[in-house]
């Protein structure tokens, strides 16, 4: 899990460096139906990357919650089975007096 965060951090630094170096890039026009929006190419790319990250997280959250609940249920079943299957202590034998 830590390697994932390290890779994500390095990727974020790379994106930030890219944005800073290309802040004077040409303007682009984005059109959707009746809207026209003129913005920098860097902001368009950063917005696309941000939207991709957001959609990935939104798709990942339900799966993570489902997995967590399943793991909790399995751990509870394991603990119940170990309690019911635990060997009973051997009976205490009384010493015989001779």
Token pair of 62, please? 């339900």
Residue 34 within any structural domain of the chain: yes
Residue 83 within any structural domain of the chain: no
Counting Cα atoms < 13 Å in the Cβ hemisphere of 42 gives 12
Residue 74 within any structural domain of the chain: no
pTM of this prediction?
0.54
Token pair of 32, please? 């959707």
Range of the domain at 6: 2-63
Residue 32 within any structural domain of the chain: yes
Interatomic CA distance for residues 73 and 78, integer angstroms: 9
- Tens digits of residue pLDDT in 18-77: 777 777 777 888 888 888 888 887 788 788 888 888 898 888 888 889 999 999 999 998
3-state DSSP call for residue 28?
strand
Residue 11 within any structural domain of the chain: yes
Q: How many domains does the chain have?
A: 1
- Tens digits of residue pLDDT in 81-98: 887 776 666 666 766 665
3-state DSSP call for residue 7?
helix
3-state DSSP call for residue 15?
helix
């Amino acid at each position: 899990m830590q390697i994932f965060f390290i890779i994500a951090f390095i990727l974020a630094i790379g994106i930030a460096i890219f944005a800073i170096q290309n802040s004077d890039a040409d303007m682009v026009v984005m059109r959707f139906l009746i809207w026209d929006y003129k913005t920098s190419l860097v902001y368009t790319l950063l917005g696309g990357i941000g939207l991709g990250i957001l959609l990935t997280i939104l798709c990942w959250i339900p799966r993570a919650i489902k997995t967590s609940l399943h793991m909790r249920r399995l751990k509870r079943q394991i603990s119940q089975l170990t309690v019911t299957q635990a060997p009973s202590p051997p009976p205490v034998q009384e010493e015989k007096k001779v």
